[in-house]
Amino acid sequence: MPGILLDTSGYSAFRRGHSGVLREIQEADGIIITPVVLGELRAGFLMGRRAERNKTDLEAFLSSPRVRVADIDSETAERYAVILVDLRKAGTHIPTNDIWIAASAMQHGLRVVTTDEHYKKVRQVVVAFHAP
């Protein structure tokens, strides 16, 4: 199976042992995380009671040779603009961070693995939605 882009909810579902997300991760050739996802996760860790444990678990996940953090660059920004304009024309709003995540998926030709349904509204990406 080709690579996947794991969004914040997808990573959280993986950590909770969600069977569908675990299967996606096990079968993927590679796993991409974006700096946006890392920021959301780390902010969540800081607000939680298990910050150090969560940080250690994330670092272990990121150390896998199958996991890579994708850069956000001018090409990502171009895709962000396309997605944002398309959503606005449709009268659809999703969180800004998720548009950046979708833009990275579009840029790298990856499926977004998520438990957030609003990614289904982004016509430019393929979504592997898993109910929470």
Total count of domains within the chain: 1
Dist. CA 107–CA 73, nearest whole Å: 10
pLDDT digits (tens, 9 = 90+) for 67-118: 999 999 999 999 999 999 999 999 999 999 999 999 999 999 999 999 999 9
Give the CATH number for residue 112. Answer: 3.40.50.1010
- Whole-angstrom distance, CA of residue 43 vs CA of residue 38: 8
Average pLDDT, the chain: 96
Range of the domain at 107: 4-129
On the question of pLDDT at 1 being above 60, the answer is no
Percent of the chain with pLDDT over 70: 99
Q: How many CB atoms neighbour CB 130 within 10 A? A: 20
pTM of the full predicted structure?
0.94
